[in-house]
C-alpha cells in the first residue's frame, strides 16, 4: 500500500482511502481513550501509520483525522450507557460525558472548514444527548428514591444481625 500511496498518488486516492483510515482512527482512538482517558493526537496516529524504520506509509491528512476521532462518540456513548447500568462503573459514564462534551465543543470550530464534519458533529450531539439523558435520569431517580443509586451500597455480608 505504501508504494501505491506515495507522493502525489496519495492525493489521487485520498477520497477512496479516507473512510478506511477514519475507521482505523476510530478504533485506535477508542483503545487510546480506554488506556489513557484522553484523545489520541494527530502525531500519535501518524506514528502508528509508520514502518519499523519510522517512515510513514502515507501522510495523515487532518480531515481524515478529525472525521475519524469524531466517530469515537458513538463508541463512547455505548460504553457510557453500559457503565451507567453497572453501579461500580458509573463514575466512568460521567467522565465519558464530560469528555464527549469537550470534544464536541472543540471540534465545532472546524465544522465549517472540514467537509462532512458538520454531519458528524450532529451525530456527536445526538450521542451526547443520549449520555446526558441517561446520566440525568439516574441522578433524578437516585435523589427521588433516596437509595443512593450513584454510590455502591456498603458491604453488609459480615454485619452481625
Q: DSSP states of the chain as a string? A: -TTTTSTTHHHHHHHHHHHHHHHHHHHHHHHHHHHHSSPPPHHHHHHHTB-TTS-BSS---HHHHHHHHHTHHHHHHHHHHHHHHSGGGHHHHHHHHHHHHHHHHHHHTTTTTSTTHHHHHHHHHHHHHHHHHHHHHHHHHHHHH-S-TTSPPP--TT---
* pLDDT for residue 32 is more than 60: yes
* pLDDT for residue 155 is more than 70: no
Q: What is the pLDDT of residue 147?
A: 56
* pLDDT for residue 34 is more than 50: yes
Q: What is the pLDDT of residue 68?
A: 96
* 147 or 4: which leads in pLDDT: 4
pLDDT digits (tens, 9 = 90+) for 57-91: 888 999 999 999 999 999 999 999 999 888 888 88
Cα(40)–Cα(97) distance, integer angstroms: 17
Cα(150)–Cα(125) distance, integer angstroms: 25
Cα(51)–Cα(86) distance, integer angstroms: 41
Break the chain into its structural domains and give their ranges.
9-139
Query: pLDDT band for position 154 (50/70/90)?
Result: very low
| Residue % of the chain over a pLDDT of 90 | 60
Predicted TM-score (pTM) of the model is 0.81
Q: What is the pLDDT of residue 160?
A: 37
Query: pLDDT band for position 138 (50/70/90)?
Result: confident
Class of domain 9-139: mainly alpha
Q: What is the pLDDT of residue 57?
A: 84
Amino acid at each position: 500500500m505504501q508504494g501505491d500511496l506515495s507522493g502525489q498518488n496519495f492525493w489521487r486516492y485520498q477520497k477512496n482511502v479516507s473512510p478506511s483510515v477514519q475507521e482505523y482512527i476510530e478504533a485506535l482512538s477508542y483503545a487510546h481513550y480506554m488506556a489513557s482517558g484522553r484523545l489520541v493526537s494527530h502525531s500519535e496516529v501518524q506514528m502508528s501509520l509508520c514502518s519499523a524504520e519510522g517512515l510513514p506509509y502515507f501522510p495523515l491528512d487532518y480531515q481524515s483525522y478529525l472525521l475519524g476521532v469524531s466517530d469515537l462518540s458513538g463508541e463512547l456513548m455505548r460504553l457510557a450507557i453500559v457503565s451507567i447500568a453497572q453501579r461500580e462503573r458509573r463514575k466512568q459514564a460521567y467522565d465519558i460525558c464530560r469528555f464527549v462534551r469537550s470534544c464536541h465543543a472543540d471540534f465545532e470550530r472546524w465544522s465549517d472548514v472540514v467537509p462532512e464534519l458538520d454531519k458528524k458533529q450532529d451525530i456527536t450531539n445526538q450521542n451526547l444527548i443520549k449520555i446526558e439523558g441517561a446520566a440525568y435520569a439516574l441522578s433524578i431517580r437516585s435523589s427521588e428514591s433516596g437509595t443512593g443509586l450513584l454510590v455502591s451500597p456498603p458491604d453488609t455480608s459480615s454485619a452481625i444481625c
